[in-house]
Structure 1
Amino acid sequence: MRDLWQGIIPESDLAAYRAAGWGNPSGIGRRLALLVIDVQYRTTGTAARPILEAVNEYPTACGEAAWKAVPHIASLIAAFRGQGYPVIFPHVAQKRPHDGGRLASKIPAAMGISQDGYQFVREVAPRQHELTIPKKHPSAFFGTPLASHLVDLGVDTLVLTGCTTSGCIRATAVDGFSYNYKCVVPCDAVYDRGVVPHAVNLFDLSQKYADVMTTADLLGKLDEMAQDAQPDKA
C-alpha cells in the first residue's frame, strides 16, 4: 500500500507514524456490509474522460479516475451479493434551492446538476430489493437511517467504495469508526478528483480509521472467509 503515497508523504512523516505505532490493522469481522457511496453520473460523467473535459458535463465529475474504480466496485458488488452480504447505496440526494447551506456558497455549481446526473451508474446500480439511502451531507451516517439499518442487519464491518476519497468516503469512515465498526477501504474502488487528496486521505485513513487494501486482496480474504465457513466434508 505504500506505493499509493510514495513520494507524496515525506519519509520523515512516515517514520514518525511508524515510531508512534500507528496504522495497525483492525481486521475484518464476520458480518460485512458493502457501502457504494455516490457512484452516480454526477461523479463519474457518462464516459471516461480527462477531468478537465469531464467537468464540462458535470462540474462534480471526477473523470477517468472514477471509471478506473467502477470495475473494482462492480467486482465487490458481485462478491458481496454472491456471499449474501448486504449491499447498500448511500447517494447524493438531488439538490433543491433550500438545500444549499454552505454548499451553495462553497461549490455553487453543485447546486445546478441536472436530474440525469443523479442516476446510478449502470454498471454498479442497485437491485430492486437493495437499500438506497439519500443523503445531503458528506457522511452516509449524517441525517440518515444508515446506523439503524446496520444494527438491524447485525453488521460489524463496513467496506467503503465510491467517492470522493477525501470527502464522503473519509467522512463515512470516520463516523463508522466512531460507531465502533471495523472499516475497510479498497484503495482502487474509491476515487477522487485529485491524485494528492486521494493518496493523502488513504494514508491518513490507513493510519487511524480503516484498513486500506486493494480490491484483489479483499476479494481474497472474502474467499478465505467463505472457505472457512464451509462445513468439513472429510
Structure 2
Amino acid sequence: MLIDVQNDFVDGASPVEGTAERIDTMAQLAAIFRAAGRPIVHIVRLYLPGGSDVDLPRRAAIEAGGRVAAPNTHGANIPEPLLPNAEGDLDFELLLAGSPQHLGADEVVMFKPRWSAFYRTKLDDHLRERGVTTIILAGCNLPNCPRATLFDASERDYRAVLVTDATSQVTAQRLSDLQLIGIHLATTSEVRDGFEGSGSVTLTPSGNPGIRDKS
C-alpha cells in the first residue's frame, strides 16, 4: 500500500520534505509486488477547491479556494514511476464516488477523505476479499496518513509492516512509537528477499520479514 504519493506532495503545491528522494525506492517496492503477483493499493487525497469535506488543518484553506491535490490537476496524480504504465491520469469522478480505479492486475487506486486509508473507504472489504492478512505500507509523511492507517490496520487485526526507506518523514521516535503497537519495520531489500525466498513475505518472531506461512 502506497499512501498519498501524489505530485503536489512530492514537488508541487504542498511538498513534503524527503518524499521526492524516496520515489525511486517506492517504485522498486511496487515493482517487487507486481513481480510477485501481489495486490497493490495506491491511496490518494483529493481536495475540491471551495469544499469542506477536508481534514481540519487544511479545511479553511481549501474552503477559501486553495488548490492542493485538486481533482483534474497534475498535482493530484500519482508520479509516473510508481505506476504500471505511462498512462498516469486518475479517474477523479470515479474515485470521488468511492469506487476503486483499476490500473493493472490487482492494482488499484482508492480515494480517502481523511488521514486513515480505512476511514469512509472500501479498503477493508477490498483486502478481506483477497485474503490479505498482512499489510506492507509505505508512502508520504509518516506522522500523518501512514501512521493513522497503521493504527487502523492494527485495530482491524491486520499484521502491519512499515517500509522505512520508502516512507518520508521517518524518525527514530516515530518508529519506536509504532513498534509499541506491534508495527513491524522493514527495508525494501528485506521485502524483496522475503518474496524471492518463498513468493510471500511473512513475519518472523523477531518482527522482521521472513519466510513462513502465506500472508
Q: Could you tell me how far 1:141 is from its partner in structure 2?
A: 0.3
Of 163-172 and 100-109, more deviation after overlay is shown by 100-109
**Which of 81, 86, 92 is the aligned partner of 2:45?**
92
1:207 aligns with 2:180: yes
Q: Match of 1:118?
A: 76
Aligned positions, number: 178
Q: Quick check: which one's helix share is greater? A: 1
Structure 1: state its 5+ residue gaps: 1-34, 46-56, 230-234
Distance 1:180 1:190, change over 3 A: same
Q: Could you tell me how far 1:82 is from its partner in structure 2?
A: 0.8
Structure 1 residues 154-193: aligned runs within 5 Å? 154-192=131-169
- Asked whether the 8 Å contact 1:104–1:110 carries over to 2, the reply is no
Q: Which has the higher contact order (CA 8 A, sep 6+)?
A: 1
Calculate the aligned-residue CA RMSD, in Å: 2.4
Q: Match of 2:190?
A: 217
Q: C-alpha separation between the residues in 2 aligned to 1:191 and 1:79?
A: 19
Distance 1:69 1:159, change over 3 A: same
Q: Match of 1:103?
A: 57
Q: C-alpha separation between the residues in 2 aligned to 1:163 and 1:110?
A: 24
- Asked whether the 8 Å contact 2:47–2:54 carries over to 1, the reply is no
Larger Rg: 1
Q: Could you tell me how far 1:225 is from its partner in structure 2?
A: 2.2
Q: Could you tell me how far 1:112 is from its partner in structure 2?
A: 2.1
TM-score where L is the length of structure 1: 0.69
Structure 2: state its 5+ residue gaps: 86-102, 201-210
Q: C-alpha separation between the residues in 2 aligned to 1:110 and 1:90?
A: 23
Query: Identity of paired residues, percent?
Result: 26
Q: Match of 1:42?
A: 8
Distance 1:220 1:136, change over 3 A: same
Q: Could you tell me how far 1:216 is from its partner in structure 2?
A: 1.3
Structure 1 residues 20-39: aligned runs within 5 Å? 35-39=1-5
Q: C-alpha separation between the residues in 1 aligned to 2:140 and 2:155?
A: 20
The SS at the match of 1:166 is: coil
- Asked whether the 8 Å contact 1:89–1:132 carries over to 2, the reply is yes
Q: Residues 52-102 of structure 1, C-alpha deviation per residue, up to 9 Å, x if partnerless?
A: xxxxx41x2124x11221111111111111111001111112334232452
Amino acid at match of 1:62: V
1:131 aligns with 2:108: yes
Q: Match of 1:69?
A: 22
The SS at the match of 1:185 is: strand
TM-score where L is the length of structure 2: 0.74
